[in-house]
Amino acid sequence: MSISKSRQAAMTAAMPASLRTAVAPYDWTRDSIGESGAAVYHLHGRDGAPDLYLKHGRAVTAADIADEAARLRWLAQYLPVPAVVQFARVAGPDQAWLLMTALPGATASQVLEANPALGLAVVDALAAFLRRLHALPVSDCSFDTGPAVRLAQARQRIDAGLVDADDFDAGREGWTAEQVWVALQDCLPITPDLVVTHGDFSLENILLQEGAVVGCLDVGRAGIADRYQDLAIVWRALGELDAALQQRFVEQYGLLDIDQGKLQFHLLLDELF
């Protein structure tokens, strides 16, 4: 969706001067990919300038954008992620902007929608990329997103009324956030197998080109966590397409079997974010 010149001018007026200068040579369209609560804009370059993406958010979302900026800078050492062009955050009211480079490719969900026959090839590419991600050095990662941290964040979100119960999976339609919380407690304790995780390894957040993963998006929840944080999200997404793709993914990732208890825990936890 295109943004009018007057709307664009009004939005840039609140930015720090350096960021206003950086986005001036661009036309904006609103983008729905990888939003996660933030407003995301595709900035189309003029006169040969490279395309960029801009995320903007306030309050809680501003904090999420700051988290993403920090993680993008760390992950850039290891994986194809958008480069941070500029990050800015101001108080009163709390706002943050994250300006990033655009990556090539189409999301895994777009690829599969356009050509379902590519299912096995897409699954193989996803599994190979997730193995690569989970092999990153935990000792070099300073971001803790393990079960204890995520449970504490989930409780805060419930208490603040931030959980969207209308967005729960079909199997929990009609549930309240408190019911999800109680069900989570019934899954505990779990023994985490800690790796560096993406945090939201969905088909919408992985970019492919010519059969290979060329980028990942929306990394604001990346950090050290149980590997099932990622496995559960992609397992659910593939199950909505074909159970055979789930099994193929597990095999290509390198698991002999899937831990149903951990899947349940992480899918319940994801409802609260």
Which among 149, 184, 152, 197 is positioned nearest to 262, based on CA atoms? 184
Q: Which residue out of 200, 218, 230, 270 is catalytically annotated?
A: 200
Residue 263 to residue 242: CA distance in whole angstroms: 17
Q: Which residues pair with 86 in a beta bridge?
A: 99
CA distances 88 to 14, 144, 259, 268, Å, are 11, 23, 41, 33
- Residue 62 three-state SS: helix
Residues 141, 223: contact at Cβ < 8 Å? yes
Which among 267, 253, 266 is positioned nearest to 130, based on CA atoms? 253
| DSSP state for residue 55 in the 8-state scheme | E
The question of whether 27 is a catalytic residue gets the answer no
DSSP letter string, 105-157: SEEHHHHHHH-GGGHHHHHHHHHHHHHHHHTS-GGG---B-SHHHHHHHHHHH
CA 116 to chain centroid: 23
**CA triplet 246, 247, 252: central angle to 5 degrees?**
100
Residues 30, 40: contact at Cβ < 8 Å? yes
Q: Which residues are catalytic?
A: 200
